[in-house]
Structure 1
Amino acid sequence: MRIAMVSEHASPLAALGGVDAGGQNVYVARLSEELARRGHEVTVYTRRDAPGLPDRVPLPGGAVVAHVPAGPARAVPKDELFPYMPEFGAWLARVWARERPDVAHAHFWMSGMAARIGAHPHGVPVVQTFHALGTVKRRHQGRLDTSPPERVGVERQIGRGCARVLATCSDEVRELAEMGVPPRRVSVVPCGVDAEQFRPGVPPGRVPPRTARHRLLACGRFVPRKGYDQAIQALARIPDAELVIAGGPAAALLADDPEARRLRRLARRIGVADRVLMPGAVDPAAMPALIGSADLVLCTPAYEPFGIVPLEAMACGVPVVATDVGGHRDSVADGTTGRLVPPQDPEAVAAAVRALLADDALRARYGTAGRTRVLTHYTWQRVAGGVEQVHRQVLAGPAQQKEVA
């Protein structure tokens, strides 16, 4: 198949850790690489966000990134990209007139808008992965939500009008149904993790040295919704433990980062600043060692569309304490690979952590079960196989389409 991946802001080439660069970038990159290795011709269309970028950049495995001229050739926050989507879509339409893809797979709602503009003149079916839904973001962020006001309406139109919605977790299917997208039009294929890179027993390398304390780890983008403040508040109830919060800008720039400053103020106020470490951005190659250095990984957002960090932890054989939200409900097997706790409840986080830190054998069982769960359900090979099946069903026509789990 000739597959067009449309990812307007989440380039596979972006450095991870920025406000708008995280799990979606990894998903698009790894899925594209794996589909290319399966023999498909894969092009990822992403916005040109700097002058002088090559028109096309090859990815490992044979996929190609194409930079689309839409809007200024500079970094623009994703929530400000909406006005440039007609230009993005018109460019796709011109390119696809010469090289028509068999299927377009759009990532995020604005990519869906651009993909439908590009696909319509040529009858190209569009598969949509939202990665996050505006209804959920608005519910949890309220007036702090910086999404364009058109977002929810556009998402509803895309969900009802595309050939297929590919959701990453069962919670998203329920949310889509409330938006008027029937479950029969939705397939569920989860995100994945590189189980060869993320594995138990990776040498420590440049990981911050352990102390005599237990180590708790939280990691990801430095944005308030990730809930690192909940982990810090829980730490006050967990004696003899340190908390490493990895991510955000480089260590030298943390002092100027608003979220890092907020978290440090909180840690000082509740008396745990001496037990909170912030190493800043971590080289992706060093993440398996950092995860492996922890006794537990904490994932404490108020909401999470999917969440790759729990998969990375389980792949490394490290138990997870995660909030009972979104994709965590699918990926973390409560009482088997970790614990699910209510969101915004530091006491519940602390209680789960204390119970696990007190039982070495239980942590070991959870870690082994987590690794097995990843190898069974969440390798990129398995994810790409599920996505490939959805693409083929779309090309076969409505009569062949069914849910994929």
Structure 2
Amino acid sequence: MDLPPIYHHTGLETSGGATRVARLLISGLKKQKVETNLSFELAEKADGAAILPEDFGRYLPDVALGHVHCTGNWSALLGSIAPGRKTIITMHDCDLFTGGCPYPLDCSNLDEGCAEPCPRKFPDSTGIRKAKFRQVRRLESTLVAPSRWLARLARTHLHRAVVVIPNGIPWPNRPLPKAAARQQLGINPAAKVVVFAAHGGMTAAYKSGDAWRGIWQQLKDRHPELLCFAVGGDKEERQGDLVIWPYVERRKLSLLMTAADVLLYPTKADNHSLVILEAMSQNLPVVSYAVGGVPEQITDGVTGMLVPPGDPAAFLDAATTLLANPVMIRQMGMEAFSAGQKRFSYQRMVSGYMQLYARTLDSQNQ
């Protein structure tokens, strides 16, 4: 398949789901001999270079196809692209059609055009939302969502067709045995191990980071032998059987998930979580609230356990039930691995985008 250079753009240089998806796509495209480039707005390394949103169009060659994953200023970035240039926009959250928030949750103002005053104090929410809509209409961009849930919301508010291409990650042929992973990490083979993981750790608002400690303490009362890892913050410490890790590189997180029994994921809002995919790829069942695109990833009672959003008692009961049943943990983990391997491999994601690029270019040439 002959494709022009694909220029990806994201907000952060190294972390975040949007950036990881962009980097995985670039890796897959390079294997297909497609020229690619990645630009970003916030450098997370001292020597990192970044471009402003309003400069993206200037750096986009005439022969290239632009693929935007996220930005701190949709209006400026899309406004920098010349009219008539076909652009792919992958929505990794709801920001493209809100007045500022990544996820509206239960905010009724969204259906009123982000009417002011904004309950979350975003300034000029109505004007910002309208400015984004103008740019999306002007460019006739091809819109993509990793989940059907987000696609439905985007169609409702942007009044545009949305293509669904689920996120994907590299899938191992077979996870490392749990005993071997625990030996590498120095974890007691007989322990019961749970993991919380989110970028930002206990400060991750949409992932209920502030509730992790309380959930852990209540589970510990029910399962005294429980060991807990809370991953993703900015510090490392141990408080008894609660181990706090900062953001760690992917290989170490995968090793921890292989060693664990359950991923606890009390997310308030989600599109198509890479953390859940990481768990599935390591035979790790997930307990989560059934929000956003999560039910498209987890089949309740088969590959994990879903509970009603905002019901902490149900979340605790589901986690307790699973931790008390090693056979169920093993079976759900195996089902999660198998189901995810078929549906969420990064090769399948790359193939989906390559087909979309080709269709977009065909429509441009007609």
Q: Same fold (TM over 0.5)?
A: yes
Asked if residue 34 in structure 1 is aligned to residue 28 in structure 2, the reply is yes
Query: 2:129 pairs with 152, 157, 167, which one?
Result: 152
User: What's 1:224 paired with?
Assistant: 205
From the superposition, tell whether residues 139 and 349 of structure 1 become closer, same or farther in structure 2 (CA, over 3 Å). closer
CA contact (8 A) 1:210 1:293 kept: no
Query: 1:242 pairs with 219, 227, 230, which one?
Result: 227
Find the aligned partners of 1:321 and 1:52 in 2 and give their Cα distance.
38
Deviation at 1:399, TM superposition (A): 11
Find the aligned partners of 1:102 and 1:335 in 2 and give their Cα distance.
45
In the TM superposition, 1:218-367 aligns within 5 A as: 218-222=196-200, 223-238=204-219, 239-240=222-223, 241-251=226-236, 274-367=240-333
User: What's 1:258 paired with?
Assistant: none
Find the aligned partners of 2:342 and 2:121 in 1 and give their Cα distance.
37
Which range is displaced more, 197-206 or 337-346? 197-206
User: What's 2:113 paired with?
Assistant: none
User: What's 1:127 paired with?
Assistant: 88
User: What's 1:265 paired with?
Assistant: none
Find the aligned partners of 1:341 and 1:52 in 2 and give their Cα distance.
42
CA contact (8 A) 1:119 1:125 kept: no
Asked if residue 169 in structure 1 is aligned to residue 169 in structure 2, the reply is no
Which residue type is aligned with residue 227 of structure 1? S
Which residue type is aligned with residue 171 of structure 1? W
Find the aligned partners of 2:44 and 2:194 in 1 and give their Cα distance.
38
Which residue type is aligned with residue 86 of structure 2? P
From the superposition, tell whether residues 341 and 51 of structure 1 become closer, same or farther in structure 2 (CA, over 3 Å). closer
Which residue type is aligned with residue 168 of structure 2? G
Asked if residue 10 in structure 1 is aligned to residue 12 in structure 2, the reply is yes
User: What's 1:82 paired with?
Assistant: none
CA contact (8 A) 1:137 1:145 kept: no
Deviation at 1:117, TM superposition (A): 3.5
From the superposition, tell whether residues 148 and 188 of structure 1 become closer, same or farther in structure 2 (CA, over 3 Å). farther
Find the aligned partners of 2:26 and 2:294 in 1 and give their Cα distance.
24
Find the aligned partners of 2:171 and 2:331 in 1 and give their Cα distance.
18
Find the aligned partners of 1:235 and 1:49 in 2 and give their Cα distance.
34
- Helix, strand or coil: the match of 1:375? helix
User: What's 1:117 paired with?
Assistant: 79
From the superposition, tell whether residues 158 and 316 of structure 1 become closer, same or farther in structure 2 (CA, over 3 Å). farther
User: Equivalent pairs: percent with the same residue?
Assistant: 19
Find the aligned partners of 1:207 and 1:166 in 2 and give their Cα distance.
39
From the superposition, tell whether residues 216 and 6 of structure 1 become closer, same or farther in structure 2 (CA, over 3 Å). same
CA contact (8 A) 1:243 1:276 kept: yes
Which residue type is aligned with residue 307 of structure 2? V
- Helix, strand or coil: the match of 2:276? helix
User: What's 1:105 paired with?
Assistant: 67
From the superposition, tell whether residues 139 and 48 of structure 1 become closer, same or farther in structure 2 (CA, over 3 Å). closer
Which residue type is aligned with residue 247 of structure 1? G
User: What's 1:189 paired with?
Assistant: 165
Deviation at 1:237, TM superposition (A): 3.8
From the superposition, tell whether residues 292 and 395 of structure 1 become closer, same or farther in structure 2 (CA, over 3 Å). same
CA contact (8 A) 1:169 1:188 kept: yes
CA RMSD after TM alignment: 3.0
Deviation at 1:380, TM superposition (A): 0.9
Task: After superposition, give the CA deviation of every residue in 1:285-328 in whole Å (9 maximum; x if it has no partner).
Answer: 21111111111001111111221111111100011111111121
TM-score (norm 1): 0.74
CA contact (8 A) 2:147 2:296 kept: yes
CA contact (8 A) 1:31 1:384 kept: yes
TM-score (norm 2): 0.81
CA contact (8 A) 1:115 1:126 kept: no
Q: Count residues in correspondence.
A: 337
- Helix, strand or coil: the match of 1:242? strand
Find the aligned partners of 1:151 and 1:329 in 2 and give their Cα distance.
31
Deviation at 1:155, TM superposition (A): 3.9
Contiguous gaps of at least 5 residues in structure 1: 15-20, 55-66, 71-84, 255-272, 401-405
